[in-house]
Copies of this chain bind each other. A is one copy, B any other.
Amino acid sequence: MKKYTIAIHGGAGAIPKIIPEDQKKLYFAALEKILKYGENLLKKGKPALRVVELVVNKFEDCPLFNCGKGSVFTFAGDHSMDASIMDGRNRECGAVTGIKRIQYPISLAKDVMTTSKYVFLNGKGAEEFAKELGYKFKNQKYFFTEKRYEQWKRVQGSDSTSLDHNAEFAAAPKGTVGAVALDIHGDLAAATSTGGMTNKKWDRIGDSPIIGAGTFADNSTCAVSSTGEGEEFIKNVVAFEVHALLKYKNVSLKEATDEVIFKILKKGIGGLIAVDKIGNFALPYNTLGMYRGVATSKGVFEVKIWE
């Protein structure tokens, strides 16, 4: 059997261990289902680029995670999503920000990559591009979920972008989702999608649509997807930093990602998932927890939130 590895994340943050049991089960079940789906695609020989897109689509359909359907509310009370995707074979990439009416922002990012001469499209312009491609628009109601609305109501009108310490609310993923994969053809790809930050103001853009910060892939090194406080990931160009450490310092994937998450970034900032060109994986985080999973052709199949 040919070698493959897939890693996924559903956001990092101050996830308390005292989440109600039934809720915990929901998260584990969702992560397992999405990971299994991605692994099966890789087993069938699907290319990494397609697999990370399809896996992120599953996250975008799932109201448990902060992307697509489950996106959090902005300060203005609407939803605004960002996404980016990158092909390790040739560094081709696509990204979108400020998306309000598209079910699958990651697929729009992929279409920016494959059918436009641009890399990064913004808000209304990106949706106009989608319209020309025949995308069907969702209205904002599609993105309404009771849980997200309650979260937002608690901070609405304030300058706070964080939530209180109620375990159930604190557990709700607020970061991003992402997938990275090495396929059986030896190709790498990475994808990241997010509903942004609860109560964010001024059309803030985080790291998720930023190539080099939120997403990076290069067949010569690795594929990376980040999650956490986007500002810190932008400043430190995190995804590309992992690539640079592998390329120029010739360290292992574990050493490179530990360097970034535990030395370059401060504690409590976030995490990342990474797969290298020979199928090694790393899923480090410096927050209390990170929703994540990894599966490989060597029989690894793990889904975790903490330790």
* A residues lining the B interface (CB < 8 Å): 91-93, 97-98, 116-126, 128-129, 161, 200-206, 210-213, 216, 230-231, 234-237, 240-241, 244-245, 247-249
Contact B92 A204 (CB under 8 A): no
Number of copies: 2
Chain B residues in 8 Å Cβ range of A125: 201-204
Chain B residues whose C-beta falls within 8 Å of the C-beta of A244 in the assembled complex: 240-241, 244, 247-248
Is B211 a contact of A128 with CB atoms below 8 Å?
no
Main secondary structure on A side of the interface with B: mixed
Are A202 and B248 in contact (CB-based, < 8 A)?
no
Mind listing 18 A-B residue pairs with CB under 8 Å? A97-B205, A118-B200, A118-B204, A118-B231, A119-B231, A119-B234, A120-B210, A121-B202, A121-B205, A126-B203, A211-B234, A211-B235, A216-B237, A237-B237, A241-B244, A244-B244, A244-B248, A245-B248
Contact call A93/B234, Cβ cutoff below 8 A:
yes
The 5 closest A-B pairs by CB, nearest first: A125-B203, A248-B248, A122-B203, A244-B244, A125-B202
Interfacial chain B residues near A200, Cβ < 8 Å: 118
Tell me the smallest distance from the CB of A101 to a CB of chain B, in Å: 15
A213's partner among B201, B211, B236, B241 (CB-CB below 8 A) is: B211
- Contact yes or no, B234 A123, CB < 8 A: no
For A126, list chain B residues within 8 Å (CB).
Answer: 202-203
Residues of B within 8 A of A92 (CB): 235
- Chain B residues with CB under 8 Å of A245's CB are 248
